[in-house]
Every structure is written in C-alpha cells, then in structure tokens.
Chains A and B, each alone.
Chain A
Amino acid sequence: MNSFGYVRAGSIDEAVALLNTPGVNSRALAGGTDLMVAVRAGEAGSFDRVVDISTIPDLRGIAMVGSRARIGAATTFSEIMRAGLIQQHARFLADAAHSVRTMQITNMATLGGNVANAAAAADTPPVLVCLDAEAIIATPAGQQRMPVASLLRGHLKNTLPAGGLIVAFEFDPLSVDTRNTFLKLGRRNALTISRINMAATGRLQADGHIAEARLVAGACFSRPRRAREVEALLQGRLPSAALFAEAGQLLMRLMVQEVGQRWSTEYKALALAAMVEEALETVLPLPANETETVRSIGVKSVESMR
C-alpha cells in the first residue's frame, strides 16, 4: 500500500485550497468505499495525501432551497434513504441508495462520491440524470454548475474541472402526479454490482395520454443518459403493453448500436427490454382494460437463464 498523509478540511474553501496546494498531489476522501478499495488494489494511482471532506458541515444535509431540492455532496446513502424530503419528492433516489443493501456501505458512501467515481454500474447517477440534476462544483476560481449528465464521461471518468470539488446537487422535486421507479438487476440481492439498473419517471395527462416519460439505463451505455429516442416515442401516446414492448425493443437496439455485441449482449439485451417494460408499467399505469399484460420476456425468466 502507498504511504500517504492525511489532512481534514473544516470548510469547503479550506478543502478547495488543500486540494489545490501547489506541489502536493491530493486526493479527496469522503466515504472511502471506493477510494480505500482502489488504494488496496493498487489502482488509485500515487498521491501525497488525502483531504478528508467527510465532516464538512456545508457538504452535508438535504433541504429545499427555494423551489429546488438540494443534497450536500457528502450526504451518505443512509441519510438519503431516511430523508422525508427524498421519500416525498424523489423516492427512486432513496430506492437506488437502498439497493446497495448493506448498512456498512450505506452509512459511509456519499452521493458526491458515487458521481465523482463515475463507475458505469453506479446506482445513483441514473436517478440524478433522470431528474436533470445539476452539480454545484467549487473550484479555486469560484463555484460553477454542471448537469450531472455531462459530469459523467465514461467508466471511472468524470469531467470535473481540475481541482474542482462537487459540493451539492440540485434538482426540481417531482410533481405530485409524476410516478417514479428504480430497478436493478444483479447477481444477488445484497451488495451486488448492477448488471443493469434503470431510473424512470412518468406523468399522464387527464385524458390518459402520456404527458412526459423519462428513462435512464445504467451500466448499458458508455455513460448514463436520458433515452430521448424512447421518451419521444412515448410522448403523447396512450400507455399500452404493445407500446412499452416497442420502447423496450428500441432501447435494446440503441444499446447494441452504441456499445456493440459483447459476450453479455445476448442476455443483457433481453433483460434490458424486459426492464423497460416493467419500469414503464410502474410509472405509466395502463388503462384498466390493459392491466393483464403478457411481457415478451419476464425479468425472472431472464434471471434463470444464467
């Protein structure tokens, strides 16, 4: 294991100054659930010291700021799971945090860390992208805002400005008539890496047509992004099993187009299409005469194919 030093930052300004001290290669440490594993595996690169940002009061907490919901970057998954504000306005973010399933990790892991680490299979970024969340980033030159979607560049790659530190995320709370869901497919229930995960929201007009649908698949594309092609297909239509099957097929084709055929594609493509159908059935309830749906393939049967 590399030898390195430790310094604890007491404020955001101090953290940014410490992270940008000339001649010292510093690494931000929040929950440590990714960094400490990488350090042990020799995959964290070399650095001179860690700057502990996990106890900075201004980096923690969940609150409404004006009309926007704001989550401090060092807020833990456990805090997100328990927050009434998240349960009420963006329950699928709490569900994504809970999907990690082990208290040892959720008590330490932070939302900012999950985004900055940018693992392709990370569970909260698809939800933040689905919410069109913005990251607020502190840099030596001052604060700036970036959509979470453009912060994620690919597996373990982010586009944070040099020396920048994510301090918070902001998003518009979902309207009361917007349904939301988070789905995850993994090899077991607890502490599993997502093979595929999915965040979706949906809202119907009074006449039953689809007013808005948003869909983000994680661990499928080079980075989580809104599937605007699928969203456009759904817009203005009446929910139906056939429409949702079409949506699943479309996202499946888009995935294969973007990332190509891989060893896992045969399984993943079917599973992705089935998950799209399941997510859409949850967020865009079918008219009463359409409730008995026959899916092209159920997620359960995909599971048993392994």
Chain B
Amino acid sequence: MNIQIDFTLNGRAVSIDAPAHVTLLRLLRDYLNLTGTKEGCAIGECGACSVLLDGRVVNSCLVLAPQVSGRDVMTVEGLAPVEGAMSDLQAAFVKYGAVQCGYCTPGLVIAGEALLRDNHFPTRDEINDGIAGNLCRCTGYQQIVDAIEQTARQRAAAQVKE
C-alpha cells in the first residue's frame, strides 16, 4: 500500500511515493539514495541510523516513513554548510581520530550535533550521556568525546568573537 510522503529533508522539500510500512531508514537509503545513515542493529540499540526529526535525535529504524509527513528531517548529509564540505563537528571527528571503521560515525555526528544544539557547554559526563545511544566498537569513545568537547569550545569562542 503506497502513500505519498511530503517532508523537509536537509532543508529541501521532498515528495516521495513509498510503501506505508517502510521505516524512515529504508526510505532514506533505498528510496532517496541517502546512504550516509547506516543500518546497524535495526532494533533501536546501536544508534547507527540516528537522524534529527524536528531537531531531536531519533533512531530512523524505529520511525515509520509516513510518520515524518509534514516534519523536518536532517541526516548526516545535511550537516555541512555547503555540499562536499564538512561541518565543524565532522572536521573535529577527523582531527581527533574519532573515526576508525566509520560505521557508527554518521550516527555519532548526528547525536553529537543534537547534544550541542541543546547544551552549548556540555561537560564530558553530559557528552557521555548524550551519546549513550550510540555504540562504537573501535575507538573506546574517548576520541569521540574529545571531538564533541572541542567543537563546543570552538563554537563558544566563535560566539564570543561575534
């Protein structure tokens, strides 16, 4: 049973016809060819499929595609200010060695971004709390926490200059 889904994706209006029972994750990857969002466990435990829904981080594997009708979705592809570039947080992930195999990275960047929008001066404990829904089997997390912490500092410093 197909259904028309109209929503905002990474700042652009999208209208797509898809079966009503597919998840937002499938819609992004298989119908819209945005493969930055990864499927890990597909049962809401690993966070690899994290996206922002109306600015809040959610697991796209647990969202039914038509649920996003009329709403705003941002994926890892939408974070950079211009296409082909990286956001400050993505650049910090590279700089601090927060990427190894890379599978968890899109989800962690999204979770980190959600945290930083909500809390401009997170402590390391708050960062740990903010990424508690994202599993990484490679890094041991410290480099990821470093990248998010440093991005918070950079953003705060940029605010002061303005």
Bound together, the chains give a CA A31 to CA B58 distance in angstroms of 10
> Given that A103-B56, A104-B47 are contacting pairs, would A37 and B62 also be in contact in the complex, using a CB cutoff of 8 Å?
yes
What is the distance, in angstroms, from A141's C-beta to the closest C-beta of chain B? 29
The contact sample of 8 A-B pairs, CB cut-off 8 A, is: A6-B20, A8-B69, A32-B64, A50-B20, A52-B64, A52-B67, A102-B132, A104-B58
Number of interchain pairs (Cβ within 8 Å): 92
A253 contacts chain B at the CB level, 8 A cutoff = no
What is the distance, in angstroms, from B2's C-beta to the closest C-beta of chain A? 10
A190 contacts chain B at the CB level, 8 A cutoff = yes
Bound together, the chains give a CA A6 to CA B21 distance in angstroms of 7
A64 contacts chain B at the CB level, 8 A cutoff = no
Looking at chain B, what size class is its interface with the partner chain?
Answer: 20 to 34
Interface string of B57-79 (1 = CB under 8 A from A): 11101111011010000000000
Residues of A within 8 A of B63 (CB): 32, 36, 108
B143 contacts chain A at the CB level, 8 A cutoff = no
**Could you list 13 further interchain pairs (A-B, Cβ under 8 angstroms) beyond the known A40-B42, A191-B132?**
A3-B21, A5-B21, A6-B67, A8-B66, A8-B69, A36-B62, A37-B43, A52-B67, A54-B67, A105-B133, A107-B56, A107-B57, A189-B132
Chain A residues bordering chain B, tally (CB within 8 A): 31
Please, which residue of chain A has its CB at the minimum distance from the CB of B52? A107
Please, which residue of chain A has its CB at the minimum distance from the CB of B130? A103
> Given that A6-B20, A36-B61, A78-B56 are contacting pairs, would A104 and B1 also be in contact in the complex, using a CB cutoff of 8 Å?
no
Question: Which residue of A29, A78, A104, A189 contacts B44 across the interface (Cβ within 8 Å)?
Answer: A104
**Max count, chain A CB within 10 A of own CB: residue among B47, B57, B111, B114:** B57
What is the distance, in angstroms, from A28's C-beta to the closest C-beta of chain B? 12
CB–CB B62/A6 < 8 A: no
Interface residues of A in 84-116 (CB under 8 A from B): 101-105, 107-108
A2 contacts chain B at the CB level, 8 A cutoff = yes
What is the distance, in angstroms, from A196's C-beta to the closest C-beta of chain B? 21
Residues of A within 8 A of B130 (CB): 103
Tell me the A residues contacting B by CB distance below 8 Å: 1-6, 8, 29, 31-33, 36-37, 39-41, 49-50, 52, 54, 78, 101-105, 107-108, 189-191
Bound together, the chains give a CA A120 to CA B159 distance in angstroms of 48
B23 contacts chain A at the CB level, 8 A cutoff = yes
Please, which residue of chain A has its CB at the minimum distance from the CB of B19? A3
Tell me the B residues contacting A by CB distance below 8 Å: 1, 3, 19-21, 23, 42-45, 47, 50, 53, 56-59, 61-64, 66-67, 69, 111, 114-115, 129-130, 132-133
Residues of A within 8 A of B66 (CB): 6, 8, 52
Please, which residue of chain A has its CB at the minimum distance from the CB of B50? A104
CB–CB B67/A32 < 8 A: yes
What is the distance, in angstroms, from A262's C-beta to the closest C-beta of chain B? 25
Bound together, the chains give a CA A52 to CA B63 distance in angstroms of 11
Please, which residue of chain B has its CB at the minimum distance from the CB of A78? B56
Question: Which residue of A5, A33, A39 contacts B20 across the interface (Cβ within 8 Å)?
Answer: A5
Bound together, the chains give a CA A298 to CA B21 distance in angstroms of 48
Bound together, the chains give a CA A101 to CA B3 distance in angstroms of 34
CB–CB A40/B43 < 8 A: yes
Bound together, the chains give a CA A63 to CA B132 distance in angstroms of 30
CB–CB B1/A3 < 8 A: yes
